[in-house]
Amino acid sequence: MNGIVDILYRPRGRFAANHVGAHTSSEVGGFGVFRDQAPFMRYPDARRIDVRATLRDPFGATYVRRFEQRAAIDVYALVDLSASMSFVGAANRFRVAVDLCAALAYSATRIGDRFGLFAYESALIDRAASPATRSRRAALGAVERLGAETPHGSSATGVLEAAAALGATRKLVFLISDFRWPERLIEQAFDALALHDVAPIVLIDSFESAPPKWGVLALRDSESGRLQALLMRPTLQRRWIEAEQSRRRRLARLSSLCSRAPIYVEDSFDPVDLSIRLTGA
């Protein structure tokens, strides 16, 4: 985790919070950015009476100004530790996930947000779990513990336990995986996380996106460890690419109703590009 970079992000929607921070919240009060005017009887704060709005009302109602409060939020990384996350091609997929978590932990605590982390395979991995904290040292310590793990799980069904562990308060959730899951599990995961602002981060390898036209590939099954030789040729390459594109379309469709559009990170993440994607409308 040398040279941790900063990532900018913007949560979608409004978050209820008890601490002042950098983001728009659902709370209104007497200070902050002007939001709207409301009848005095609904918000009886004589210090915020808007004289002009009151004088303009033909029925003589009194109005007060309401201001948009800024709030700190909870940011969580949910990290897949199933066997396919151990893939090493143009890059080490799991190390990319760890580096991304380190950047998120640093960035969240820098602006006063809390950072938490849950790792899962077929179940939630308690030793790699960390509740949300504002302490940068504690947040980065959680990422270090994650880095000591080895992805080897036979499935990623533990994502449902991770979603339940988040609780009922709305959070910004980075769902980090290669998403090589059964379609039913992907659907269940997005349904379980529907309460939150979910950013799916899809880790892919350039080798998977653009395999060679010719050659003999030695492919190892991540779960069984079995090695298989595959003779590549143009027809097979075309089918491979079409299958990968179809997988991405399915993922986009499944996430469309419950989360942001998937963000693809190929080989390594560019903090500037990722920040643009996470702060865009």
Identify the pLDDT of residue 72.
84
Identify the pLDDT of residue 5.
84
State whether 144 and 105 are in the same domain: yes
- At 173, give phi and psi (nearest 5°): -120, 125
**Alpha-carbon gap, residue 201 to 275, rounded angstroms:** 12
Structure-derived torsion over alpha carbons of residues 90, 92, 93, 95, reported in degrees to the nearest 10: -140
Identify the pLDDT of residue 1.
53
Name the residue with tokens 């090493």: 88
Is position 252 within any domain? no
Is position 230 within any domain? no
Domain of residue 52, residue span: 23-71
The tens digit of pLDDT for each residue in 208-220 reads 776 766 665 555 5
Is position 28 within any domain? yes
Is residue 73 within 8 Å of residue 81, measured between CB atoms? no
The pLDDT of 13-27, averaged and rounded, is 59
Identify the pLDDT of residue 243.
79
Size of the chain in residues: 281
Report the chain's C-alpha Rg in angstroms. Answer: 23
Name the most confidently modeled range: 42-56, 172-186, 220-234. Answer: 172-186
Burial of 137 (0-12, 13-18, 19+ CB in 10 A): exposed
**Alpha-carbon gap, residue 107 to 113, rounded angstroms:** 9
Residue 97's closest CA among 112, 113, 82, 75? 82
Would you list the DSSP string of 222-260? TTT--EEEEEE-HHHHHHHHHHHHHHHHHHHHHHTTTSP
State whether 114 and 27 are in the same domain: no
State whether 144 and 59 are in the same domain: no
Count of Cβ atoms closer than 10 Å to residue 9 Cβ: 22
Number of domains in the chain: 2
The tens digit of pLDDT for each residue in 87-98 reads 887 889 999 999
Is residue 42 within 8 Å of residue 140, measured between CB atoms? no
| Residues β-bridged to residue 228 | 219
State whether 53 and 172 are in the same domain: no
Identify the pLDDT of residue 207.
77
- At 192, give phi and psi (nearest 5°): -65, -25
Is position 13 within any domain? no
Is residue 146 within 8 Å of residue 98, measured between CB atoms? yes
Residue 208's closest CA among 176, 252, 241, 175? 241
Residue 194's closest CA among 233, 226, 218, 160? 160
State whether 33 and 158 are in the same domain: no
CATH number, position 125: 3.40.50.410
State whether 102 and 190 are in the same domain: yes
State whether 132 and 262 are in the same domain: yes
39 against 160, higher pLDDT: 160
SS3 7: coil
The tens digit of pLDDT for each residue in 35-63 reads 777 788 887 888 788 888 888 888 888 98
